[in-house]
Structure 1
C-alpha cells in the first residue's frame, strides 16, 4: 500500500485516491492530522540526541568499521 509523506496509508488505485482527495477537499478527512507512531515523543528526542553524540565521539575509522559490518550484514543474506 502506498504511503504519504508522513507515513499514512494511501489508496493504491486511481479511483480510491481520487475519492480520498475529494474527501480532503470537502473536509471529511483532515490531511494535516499528525500520525501517531506509538512512540513517546520524549524518547524520540533523546534518541536523536544520543545518536548525534555517539557519532561525534567516534573516530572516522570506527564509523567505517561499523558501516562495513552493517553492509556485510545487509548484503550477506541469501
Structure 2
C-alpha cells in the first residue's frame, strides 16, 4: 500500500515536479524536527487543563447561566440555516 502521509501540491507546476521527483527517486523525506521549541511538560499540562475545562466550567455555572448559553447557541445554529 502506498504511503499517503504526504499531501500532493495543488499547483500544477509543483505537482509536476513532485511527480518527477517521485519517479526518479529524488524525493527527500520531510521529517518534522523533534524539538519544536515547546516544553513537553507545559504541553502536557495544557492538555490536562483542556480535558477538564468544560466540566469545571459547567460546575461553576448556575442552571440559569447554562440555560442562557444553550439558548444563545441554539439561536446561532438556527440563524445559520437561513
TM-score, scaled relative to structure 1: 0.43
> Greater helix percent: which structure?
2
Higher CA-based Rg: 2
